[in-house]
Amino acid sequence: MSKRLIVGLGNPGPEYEHTRHNVGFLVADAVAGTVGADLRKERDQARSGWVRWRGHEVGIAKPWTYMNRSGTSVEALLRRASLKPTDMLVVVDDIHLPLGRLRARPGGGAGGHNGLQDIIDWLDTDAFPRLRIGIGREFGEGRQADFVLSPFDEEEREAVAGALDRAVKAALTFVTDGIQVVMNRFNG
């Protein structure tokens, strides 16, 4: 039986709950709901849960650090579960993708995402699968932080709901079929 970890990145606290930067948390919660995992357990600076699903042992985690400090939690989660970075899918927001667009990759740089960069730094590798979810790029110069920490507008919510649904399917496809199949089915 294979073992996989899905990590959704975000910021803890009610003030960040429905912001663009927390789409990773939204996906983690939705995956947990789909497979019946309870994410209330706090360990390794994360809220996480493990279940058996379709013949696989699946962990879902939300690092309970701030986004830019996700690496310490991810490193501890992998170590405790005896997993390699390639056994994990990290789900993050991406301002470089149009709203609702998904892009999966087996590895690569952080692309300016501080949460991914911290994980790369802690793991000393960029060879781990990631799923990026486009949150748009409608902000003025110097307003990026305000934008990513703002909620989605009313007219954006339908596109976001569709992206979250596809992201859950992509994450579960990673569990059953791996990152290459995710890329073939969900990129674009």
Q: Which of 61, 68, 60 is nearest to 16 (CA)?
A: 68
Q: Please identify which of the residues 21, 56, 96, 113 carries the catalytic annotation.
A: 21
What number of CA atoms fall less than 13 Å from residue 42's CA on the CB side? Answer: 4
Q: Which of 75, 70, 89 is nearest to 3 (CA)?
A: 89
CA angle 54, 174, 171 (to 5 degrees): 90
Q: Alpha-carbon Rg of the chain, whole angstroms?
A: 15
Q: Report CA-CA distances (Å) from 7 to 25, 142, 169.
A: 8, 29, 14
CB contact at 8 A, 81 and 59 = yes
Cα 148 to the chain's mean position, in Å?
15
Known catalytic residue at 96 = no
Query: Collapsing DSSP states into helix, strand and coil, what is residue 123?
Result: helix
Catalytic residues: 21
